[in-house]
Every structure is written in C-alpha cells, then in structure tokens.
Amino acid sequence: MPVARSSFGPPPLFRPGSGKRRPVRRTAVLALALWAATTTAVSAAPPASAQVDPADVEVVLGPGQSAQVAKKVTTPAVPPKPDLVLLADTTGSMGAAIASVRANADAVTGQVLSAQPAAQFAVAEYRDTGDAFAFRVDQALTADRDAVRAGIGRWSASGGGDTPESAINALHQIGQGATGFRPDSTRIVAWFGDAPSHDPVLGRSLSDAIGALRSAGVRVVAVNVAGAGSGLDAGGQASRITRETGGVLLNQVPPDQVARAILDGVREVPVTVTPRTTSCDARLSVRNEPSSRTVTSGAKAEFAETVEVKPGTPAGTYHCTVDYQVDGRSLGFVERTKVHVPGVRVGDATASEGDGQAVFTVSLDRPSPKPVTLRASTSDGSAVAPGDYAATSQVLTFAPGETTKAVAVPLVSDTVDELDETFALRLGEVAGAAVSDGEGVGTILDDDRDGVFTCRASVANVAGIEPVVANPPNAPCAEADQTTLQANLGSGLLNARLKALSARTDQTPDDPSASRAAEGDSVVSRALVETTTLSTLGVSVELGVIRSEASVTCVAGGHGLEPRFSGGSTIDSLKVNGVPVTVVGSQPVTIPLVVGSLRLNSTERTADGLVQRAVVLDALLVKVVVGEARVGYRGTDAHPGGNPCQG
C-alpha cells in the first residue's frame, strides 16, 4: 500500500512491506535530525482536518432530472476513536527497540491523542513458551497516560534463546479481549519484534490468531525490527496477519526508530468511507459511486454523487442528508443537499374586444440553470375560436436565468352586445420544471354598448292624430327631421290650427353601435311650432312660439359613465278668449278652464326616460298635446338592465 505523509512526526523512512528506505524530503531534514539526535521526543505537524467537500449542495432540478456532484472526503489522520494496544516482543534481543519505545512513550500517546482525543491505550508483551511467561498484559485499556507509561516501564529484554517466539498466542489472546476493547472503537495492535512465532504455539495456529483478530475487528500494525533474516515475517507470517486484518507491515526498522515506525504504521492503517443517507425527502434519491471506498488514514476518499428528482415531483424545496461514515462510525462528515424544483405557472388575462389581444404571463418561481421548455395552448370556454379569438399553440423556452414569458392571443372584435366570455391557456409538455398552476383564464370583456338610446319628437297630438313626428318608433333612436307649414286638426268638439311645425331628433355619435361608449355621447329630441290656436265649446286658447326639448347625455359617475337626463320647454305668449295670460319662463303651471285644464311646461321622469310636454289641454272628451320631446334608453338581450353609456 502506498504511504501518504504522516500528519505527525517526520516522514517515514520505510515503505510498508518493502524493507527499503524511503528518500527523505529536504523539508523533513530538520525533523529527521532532531529524531536522530534524541529518543525522548517525537515531533509532529498539526493533524489534517477531516471533512466532506462540498458539505452543502444546492441545485435546481426539474422532475425527472439529475445532477452529478464530485465529493471528496478527507479522512482523519488517525482512524477514529482508536484503541491502540502496544505489543512488544520482550525477549533478550529486543533491548534497543524496547528502549526506543519507552523513551518515546509520551510522544507516541500524545501524537495519537492530538489527532484523536478519544484514543485509549493498552500495553502487553510476549516471550517464548519456556520463559517466565509466554504472554502478559502490563496495562489493560486505559485513557491514563501515566498508567500506559508505567506498563511500558515493566518491559525488559529477557528470555528467548531460539528464533521462534509465542507471538501467535499473544495475538490470539488480544483478539479474544485480553486487553479490553470499547464496543465502538477502532482496534489496532502495534506489534513489534525481530523473530517469527511458533506455529502452532500453545494450541493456537496462525489461522486461529487471524480468525480471532478478524472477529474482534482488530487491525495489526507490524514493525519488523531490523536484524538477521526475515524476522517477524519469516515464512510470511507478518505479511499474512497484516494483510488479512487490514493492517500495515513496516520492514527492517532500526531498533532506535521503532517508536516512530509505530506512529507511521498507525497513520497507514486503512479506513473505509461509506456514504449513508440518513434522511431524504421521498421525492429525491441520492446515490454515490462507489458505494464505499477504502483509503489510507488522512487521504481523500472520492465519490461521484448523483442527486435525482423523481418524475412527477411538485414544485418546492427538498432535502437530503448524507453521512460519510468512517469505518462505520459517524464523525460528523455530513453533506446537506438542498434541491429546488422550480414551479411554472400561467396567470389570468383580461382584455376588451377592442384591445386586439389578451396577453398571458407564464412565469417560473425561480431561475433555472438549465433551459425549461413547455407548450402553451388555448382551449375554448364560453369564448370560442375563431369567432371570439384566434386559437394559439406555441412552445416556450426559458433560457437559464429567465423567469417570465408572454403569450399573446389575438382577439376578434364584433359589434354585438354580449356577455363577457372566457377561454383558457393551458400548459403542457413541461420539461425542467413542475406545473404549479397550469391553466390561465382569459376573459374577453365585451366593449359593445349594453343598451341603445330612444328618442321621439312630436309637434302635436290631437286625439291621437300627430301631423309631424321625428322618429316615430322611439326605439332605437335615429336621427330625423320633419317639418310642415301648417296643420288644421279637428275632433268634433275641438279644432286645432298650427303653423310652421318642426320635429327633430339628433344623437352623438351618429351611429353609437359602431363605437365604444364615451363621455359626451348624447341624444336630443326637439319640437317647435310658431303659432297654435285651440278652440272648444266657447273657449279659445292662442299660443305664441312653443319650444320643447329633452336630452340624455353620458357623464362620468361613481361607477363609470352613466346617463343623465334633462328637459325643458318655453311658450312665448298665451291668450285665453283674447285675454293675455302671463307665463314665466319654463316654470310648470296649470290654468283652470271651464272646459277642463291647461298644463304648461310639464316634465315626466321615469327610471329609463324623460318626456317633456310644452302644452297639455285636458278638455271634455278630448286631450291635446303640443310640443312633446321624448328621450330614454333600454338594455339589450345580453344586458337587460344595461344602458348605452356602458360597455
């Protein structure tokens, strides 16, 4: 396994499993010199920070879309929460190596603790089967550095005599829990010696030891102290143990550098990083390739992460949390993913027929880094294409960063008064966003008048006979002008003589149906007669010029335009049986006669009209009206209560 630079101590001089010295970098010369000069301290650089990069991911995706994110997890320089067992061969040839570790005990524990403050330590040793002991625990697992120092202090080089020792028995007992391990720790045995083990020894084979270590999750760092022959690795024992426990073998280490080799080996222990999705909205999926990666402690584990939004996901913001666990432990290497699914909506549109088009706004609730496409199509409602509007279907594309688009639907104008009508603009074939509101209502406001004017002018009406009338139908109003020089009318009991008769109706504009209602639109009815003589049963009534006028005009009111009426009449002179009677302006007045009554300047106002009458004679069995002007309005079938000032 390649060796990365340690986060503490000088660069290792030995490549694990190689037996060859590693070239020393110039930057490490001072540290190496200090190491060589003293065995009482181990120098260290600050531990590399462990993290996941990027820790926060924020993307914008549409339903069914995905994004790829490159992830790098910087692993801790020392495996998390280590339980480190220092296992020494303390036979007679190991004096110098034991001295090196004893002198640097505080540095070894200190450097591990600086990288992993939760670390604990145990101390054990082994000799040969014929010695005072084959295996001994000098200090069970503890966080007490003084106790660790005291345990190492019990080591002394003695015994042995032949080359094989009892290492396999020692490793087996540690695998069985002889030194103690915490339930959730990273278990490491730092084993150093210069000779292989009997196999089997005390009833335990190499396979038994490896099985016990693997069952307990123990990784072995083997430091093969330099000497004659293959030492620990004779017959490949150390190679197999470290290989099968996921550990590290450092070969041919000089006795005075064993302490540093232990530190180098601990930092070379491989760790496995596994992404675990701890929480995720059901609308999202997050996966990493590969599903786990094993790297040397302190190195970066790289993953290709895919974040995907499931088809049919509504617009909104969704979250996922991924814990990049190291050796199955959560170390807080957490990635928080936030996914925004943009929503597209279409608003309503309102326009009058005469506006020519209704404009809908289609919008995204947030910009997208990718194009968003959709189709916008009209659909009939009470408004029907092509009579009311032109059917429309078009593809819209929101470029990255765009959030609004306009869709103009042409309208068809007519002169028929009708109710407001509606149609729809619907969104479909959406890619890159979710539909928040897929239907906009288009309202076509009818701008034709909601009614028509009425008008009529009559110079005289004697017992139902009218010699001069302008626009006799009254509804709708039409411009008319009628005149005659004179008229003699009789009904048996009454005789009427009139000269210079004129009746006229006017409206502005001339054809209101061809234009929208506007302030100042109006209708006027006028009746005029120069002289009038009425005779009945011994009573004679002589009248000078009679004028009568009625009008209705569109004026601004509290709710838009509304009709306003006015009317008036005048009589220049009046004689009854040759006796002058004073008439003041256009004030209404009633004069009693022996044959009935004479009413002057009467105005009759109704909800939708006005009638102005200059003269009304109510005689026995007969009624005479002179100078009558009528104006008014009526609604349409679509707007029975409407008027021509509306629309």
Question: Does some domain include residue 6?
Answer: no
State whether 616 and 523 are in the same domain: yes
Provide the domain count of the chain.
4
Q: Which residue in 580, 556, 582 sits closest to 645, CA to CA?
A: 556
What 3-state class would DSSP assign to 532? strand
Looking at the DSSP assignment, which residues form a beta bridge with residue 450? none
Residue type, 416: V
111 and 240 co-located in one domain: yes
* Same domain for 356 and 316: no
Domain with residue 411: its CATH number is: 2.60.40.2030
What pTM does this model have? Answer: 0.68
In a domain, 577, yes or no: yes
On whether both 392 and 517 belong to a single domain, the answer is no
Is 231 domain-assigned?
A: yes
What is the rounded CA–CA span in Å between residue 306 and residue 261? Answer: 40
Instruction: Characterize the bridge pairing of strands 270-280 and 293-296.
Output: antiparallel
Domain match, 433 and 562 both: no
Tokens of 129: 């089967």
Q: Is residue 137 part of a domain?
A: yes
Residue 4 within a domain: no
**Which of 248, 268, 288 is the last residue before a domain boundary?**
268
Residue 601: closest CA among 591, 593, 553: 591
Domain boundary among 341, 368, 396: 341
Structure tokens at 492: 């048996």
Spatial distance between the Cα atoms of 601 and 599, rounded to a whole number of angstroms: 7
Q: What is the distance between the alpha carbons of residues 84 and 338, in angstroms, rounded to a whole number?
A: 40
At 33 the pLDDT is 29
**CA dist list (Å): 520 to 340, 440, 645:** 56, 37, 9
* Same domain as 239, residue 94: yes
Mark whether 231 and 280 lie in a shared domain: no
Shared domain check, 59 and 186:
no
Q: Average pLDDT across each block of 10 residues of the chain; the chain has 647 residues. List them in order.
A: 34 38 28 32 41 94 96 93 97 94 95 94 96 97 97 94 91 98 95 96 97 97 84 94 96 95 94 96 96 94 97 97 93 94 97 93 96 98 96 97 97 84 97 97 90 97 95 96 95 90 97 89 98 93 97 94 96 95 88 93 96 94 94 92 90
Same domain, 505 and 380: no
Tell me, yes or no, whether 243 and 319 share the same domain: no
Measuring CA to CA, which residue among 332, 341, 335, 304 is closest to residue 320? 335
Does any domain span residue 606? yes
CATH code at 295?
Answer: 2.60.40.10
Residue 16 lies in a domain: no
Cα 606 from Cα 603, distance rounded (Å): 10
Strand boundaries in 8-134, DSSP class E? 51-53, 56-60, 66-74, 82-89, 120-126
- The pLDDT assigned to 428 comes to 96
In the listed set 289, 307, 341, which residue is the last one of a domain according to the structure? 341
Domain co-membership, 327 together with 373: no
Best CA proximity match to 533, nearest among 483, 499, 558: 499
pLDDT of residue 228: 59
How far is 224 from 251, CA to CA, in rounded Å?
5
- Show the domain range for 240: 26-46+80-268
Torsion-angle region of 100 (φ positive above 0: left; ψ -120 to 50: alpha; else: beta):
alpha
| Domain-located, residue 371 | yes
Query: Do residue 125 and residue 250 come from a single domain?
Result: yes
CATH code of the domain containing 236: 3.40.50.410
Beta pairing class for 120-126 and 82-89: parallel
